Amino acid sequence: MMYAIDKYNVQRVLILDWDIHHGNGTQEIFYEDERVLYISLHRHDDGEFYPTGAPKDYSDIGEGKGKGFSLNIPWNSGDIGDDAYRAAFAKIIMPTAYEYNPELVFISAGFDAAAGDPLGGCKVSCDTFSLMTYQLMALAGGRTIAVLEGEDKMKKV
């Protein structure tokens, strides 16, 4: 992503992280950078972002020039399914993404929110992951990159 920003002068990159883990490292890298809109869907267990244990919530939105460019959508339990993900996409993610008008989209594509994954305890179907991908590909002239994040229980998913 930084290569695209530096080499091709890309000014607006959307990163969507849709697994149950808060992408604290990714968010931290771009926390003060207005060129990257970071959106994370993740668990929020007992008032803390999963799995870091950071006592944060949806008000953690960036700092300096990056203020307003970090968007956290924390789920209060692991029992999340298609309806919640689709509602977040329809009401929050896609309207925000269209307003931001990214030139490049990155998907941090972990699948521990998928139905059947023992870690996530969620119930997101393949159809919903497909729909989310399809909608994101409508942004940035289709310039979308999906990065598969580690899954150690793929046979169960």
Q: What is the CATH number of the domain that holds 90?
A: 3.40.800.20
With respect to residue 48, please indicate whether it lies within any of the assigned structural domains: yes
What range does the domain containing 101 cover? 2-150
With respect to residue 35, please indicate whether it lies within any of the assigned structural domains: yes
Quick check: 105 and 145 in contact, CB under 8 A? yes
Would you say the pTM of this structure is higher than 0.75?
yes
What pLDDT, on a 0 to 100 scale, did the predictor assign at position 10?
A: 95
What pLDDT, on a 0 to 100 scale, did the predictor assign at position 151?
A: 60
Q: Report, as ranges of residue numbers, the positions in the chain whose pLDDT lies below 70.
A: 45-58, 78, 151-157
What pLDDT, on a 0 to 100 scale, did the predictor assign at position 105?
A: 98
What pLDDT, on a 0 to 100 scale, did the predictor assign at position 94?
A: 98
With respect to residue 65, please indicate whether it lies within any of the assigned structural domains: yes
What pLDDT, on a 0 to 100 scale, did the predictor assign at position 117?
A: 85
Cα–Cα distance, 37 to 20 (Å, whole number) = 19
What pLDDT, on a 0 to 100 scale, did the predictor assign at position 48?
A: 60
| Type of residue at 100 | Y
What pLDDT, on a 0 to 100 scale, did the predictor assign at position 88?
A: 97
Number of continuous H segments (helices) and E segments (strands) in the chain: 5, 6
Q: Locate 98 and state its tokens.
A: 């269209």
What pLDDT, on a 0 to 100 scale, did the predictor assign at position 89?
A: 97
- Range list of H helices, 57-155: 82-88, 94-100, 126-137
Question: How many domains are there within the chain?
Answer: 1
Quick check: 95 and 48 in contact, CB under 8 A? no
